[in-house]
Amino acid sequence: MRPDAIIVGGGIGGLAAAVGLCRRGVRVRLYEKSGEFGEVGAGLQLAPNCTRILGHYGLLQAAIGLGVVPERMRMLDALGGGELTQLDLAATEQRYGSPYLVMHRSDLHRLLLDEARRLGAELVTSATCTGYENVAGGARVAFADGRTDTAAVVIAADGLHSVARPLLIDDEPVNSAYVAYRGAVPFAAVAENEIFAHDVVVYVGPRCHFVQYPLRGGEMFNQVAVFESAKARAGAADWGTPDELDAAFAGKCRPIRKGLPLMWRDRWWRMFDRDPIMRWVDGRIALLGDAAHPPLQYLAQGAVMAIEDGWVLSEHVAGGGPAADWDAALAAYEAVRTEHCRRVVETARAWGRLWHLDGAERERRNTILRSRDPYDYSFLDWLFGPTALTPEQEPELFRPIALDAAEA
């Protein structure tokens, strides 16, 4: 039977969209190029604007059971190790009505996969989409093995290197020259280290940062080490290698030096985003998740935005499956999501620059952050507040800190 909606990509974005659409009575067929559904075995932070949606989907309690609701988010200086500022996450939950949660990626992925399947989504693996085309009354996708499929709407949730994106713009991923190393390990491996076992911690330093948080009810511990690659800046092809990791974090504070040997060294993630675009919809073909707005991950909002995208689109699908007015739904989706995600992508870049400052600018940043009221939410309301369904609901943009406003 012909589905109402085809989703290409079985990452967190595609699966969450499948859940949202199935809940609105849409018949979904999802295609994934890999032979099996899966995610990398590292951690993911889910802010209240995401956990609120998991709550709408009836998945929040299960997610909490699989993850950790941390007590605090702390920002520390990577050189001296001292605390710069923090967020009380219990108070944050009260303010936004939903928790800040950290989870193992594969646990969230599995939760969404199981729910999509339970709701009747048809899930197809080993299907590499090679082309998208609008046709009368819908859109068609073509696959590497010669198959095609057609539906009233096609959602391209196929990630950073989306095959659908060239329908909307001729652009390339932007190389940040930063690289991420990850490592999720049993808690016992870090028990003797200097860690905050119940908190999300980021050490910010010149051209680098280091993230730590617990996973799986505290049984595991997640670390992410991010740094600017000198080799990338010099144009070398083999950039971000482990020797650069060690050099980037030499001389940083002891908790980082203790954590560093636990990073996985056989793989690393070069960090790309794309310049924001304000059109995601071409006829009945729509981009979603990283295909539309891949960010640098400094705000921890990439997967979160992808989940919001699917929820917003689903909320605009009136009438369910065959009765849905897809043109209206896609127009409403594009009207609200493009602007929000533009802000996130651009703010993530600015946030990264702030984290990675050196010299006098770093000192000034630290002075400002140390004097920050930890219960000041003016930076967070636009992000952690309820996901807007219309442009009118979109909250005011946070105002970036003016660095020269502080006493050095």
Side chain identity, residue 118? R
**Residue holding tokens 């989940």?**
307
Question: How far apart are CB 188 and ligand FAD at their closest, in Å?
Answer: 24
CA distance 86 to 225: 20
> Left, alpha or beta for 25 (phi > 0: left; psi -120 to 50: alpha)?
left
Q: 60, 84, 286, 304: which one contacts ligand FAD (CB under 6 A)?
A: 304
Residue 67 binds ligand FAD, judged by CB under 6 A: no
Residue 383 binds ligand FAD, judged by CB under 6 A: no
Question: 36 vs 192, which CB is nearer to ligand FAD?
Answer: 36
**Candidates 76-84, 213-221, 300-308, 389-397; binding stretch for ligand FAD (CB under 6 A):** 300-308
Residue 151 binds ligand FAD, judged by CB under 6 A: no
Question: 121 vs 163, which CB is nearer to ligand FAD?
Answer: 163
Q: 67, 70, 138, 289: which one contacts ligand FAD (CB under 6 A)?
A: 289
What CA dihedral angle connects 57, 312, 132 and 32, to 10 degrees?
-20
Is residue 120 within 8 Å of 30, Cβ to Cβ? no
Q: 3, 11, 214, 240: which one contacts ligand FAD (CB under 6 A)?
A: 11
Question: 77 vs 309, which CB is nearer to ligand FAD?
Answer: 309
Residue 158 binds ligand FAD, judged by CB under 6 A: yes
DSSP state letter for 190 = T
Residue 301 binds ligand FAD, judged by CB under 6 A: yes
Orientation angle between helical segments 12-23 and 105-118, nearest 10 degrees: 30
Q: Which of 96, 178, 181, 213 is catalytic?
A: 213
Helix H or strand E segment including 330: helix 326-355
Residue 14 binds ligand FAD, judged by CB under 6 A: yes
Question: 366 vs 387, which CB is nearer to ligand FAD?
Answer: 387
Q: Which residues pair with 404 in a beta bridge?
A: none
**Candidates 74-82, 192-200, 298-306, 358-366; binding stretch for ligand FAD (CB under 6 A):** 298-306
Based on the number of CB atoms within 10 Å of its own CB, is 276 exposed (0-12), middle (13-18) or buried (19 or more)? middle
Side chain identity, residue 91? A
Residue 32 binds ligand FAD, judged by CB under 6 A: yes
97-136 footprint of ligand FAD as x/- string (CB under 6 A): -------------------------------xx-------
CA distance 338 to 345: 10
Contacts of 323 (CB under 8 A, 6+ apart): none
DSSP state letter for 100 = -
Beta pairing, strands 285-287 & 153-156: parallel
Q: Is 213 a catalytic residue?
A: yes
Q: 3, 20, 302, 310: which one contacts ligand FAD (CB under 6 A)?
A: 302
Q: 51, 98, 106, 297: which one contacts ligand FAD (CB under 6 A)?
A: 297
CA distance 196 to 102: 14
Residue 13 binds ligand FAD, judged by CB under 6 A: yes
Question: How far apart are CB 364 and ligand FAD at their closest, in Å?
Answer: 27
Question: How far apart are CB 392 and ligand FAD at their closest, in Å?
Answer: 25
Residue 352 binds ligand FAD, judged by CB under 6 A: no
Residue 252 binds ligand FAD, judged by CB under 6 A: no
DSSP state letter for 108 = H
| DSSP labels, 341-406 | HHHHHHHHHHHHHHHT--HHHHHHHHHHHHTS-TT--TTTHHHHSPPPSSGGGPPPPPPPP-GGGS
Binding residue count for ligand FAD, defined by CB under 6 A: 31
DSSP state letter for 45 = E
Question: How far apart are CB 98 and ligand FAD at their closest, in Å?
Answer: 15
Residue 159 binds ligand FAD, judged by CB under 6 A: yes
DSSP state letter for 284 = T
Residues catalogued as catalytic = 213
Q: Which positions touch ligand FAD (CB under 6 A)?
A: 8-14, 31-34, 44-45, 128-129, 157-159, 163, 180, 224, 269, 289-290, 297, 300-304, 306
